[in-house]
Amino acid sequence: MTNGVKRARLALVLALTVGPGAAWAQADDDGSAVVVDMPEPDRGCPVKPEFLPMTPMGQVGIERLGWLVHQAIIPASKDKFFQAGARSRSGVKPVPMDQAKKLGALDTTKAPIWVFGKEKSKACKGTPIAYWAVRMGTDEDRQTYLMAELAMECEVLPPGRLPGTPIAIRQKDEPTGCVLRRPNRNLTGKEMDGIPPDYAEHIPPQDCAAPECARLWEYFGVTGDEGEGAFDLTVSYLHRNGSNPCNWATDDLSMLFVRMRDSTSLTPLKPGGQLFGGLWDFNGPRFILSRDMGVLYAYDYQKLKAAPKAVRYGSPTEEDLIHAKRTLSPCKK
């Protein structure tokens, strides 16, 4: 048997023995076969991820830029941070690291936190470095939330517009091949411009005749290479009464839709919420993400008939309730 045949047989044995996670290579100096590790294939987005919403530090009263990731709702029986009169007010207090676990801090030793930050960037690991007890809400609905400040191995956008909000998940393995897509399409309709037919068929009839009434609309969406994705639509009917737009009554409608690949129709998503992104992998869209009044909704793109995953991460404040109405009114207060 020649040396070349021996080396070929040895290489075949090695290739069959080490399995799909490794490969062999022939060294140049003596012709021997050497096992070389191959990179693992991308895992894609998790099938059943544990979503962790993120909140700007400034929103809860910490005077610096940055983000906090949701951990748990602290029950009243364990809330030692806001007592007596403090329970009727919003506020934020540090939580000692050794107490955080007893209050619901997530165990990241077995299942790390992975943060999706910038557009189309891969997830990076986030490690809790501080915990905070955040009291928020109105007299009718006020809760204390445990939130974690993270040291992150990647850059995220600073707090600002909702579409720039990061999202985190918790799982054992890094979600390689899964990326966050942000809204990348938008269109605004001027007064009485026709609403695209695929949207118009979902809008109830409204009596709005010019010049007494003006109809405005806009939509924005997050889409993939094949045009599939989600779209957020707002329509406002402005009933003119004098020259001051702040005196005009408005009828407003907001809806969230999804468009499947190779489809020309839109499917409404319930309960809706304001779109801020979606998770994509090599199979296309996996989850559509929206927020509404302190609740994160994650719609499974493969199971749109099922209710979305819902995670409550905050209680609306008086200011949130005042500005909850989404409208295209030109009134500037």
Give CA–CA dist 67/115, Å, rounded.
11
Average pLDDT over residues 59-64: 92
User: CA dihedral in degrees (84, 139, 144, 274; nearest 10)?
Assistant: -170
* pLDDT 10s digits, 222-279: 998 888 999 999 999 999 999 999 999 999 999 999 999 888 899 999 999 999 999 9
Whether residue 219 is predicted with pLDDT greater than 50 in this model: the reply is yes
* pLDDT 10s digits, 178-201: 999 999 889 999 887 899 999 999
Task: Look at residue 19 in the predicted model and tell me its pLDDT.
Answer: 42
Task: Look at residue 11 in the predicted model and tell me its pLDDT.
Answer: 41
Give CA–CA dist 102/265, Å, rounded.
49
Whether residue 13 is predicted with pLDDT greater than 60 in this model: the reply is no
* pLDDT 10s digits, 66-84: 999 999 999 999 999 999 9
- How is residue 165 written in tokens? 């909000």
pTM, two decimal places:
0.85
CB 266 within 8 A of CB 231: yes
| Contacts (Cβ under 8 Å, ≥6 apart) of 4 | none
Task: Look at residue 189 in the predicted model and tell me its pLDDT.
Answer: 92
Q: Which of 308, 311, 279 is nearest to 294 (CA)?
A: 311
Task: Look at residue 333 in the predicted model and tell me its pLDDT.
Answer: 67
Residue type, 326: R
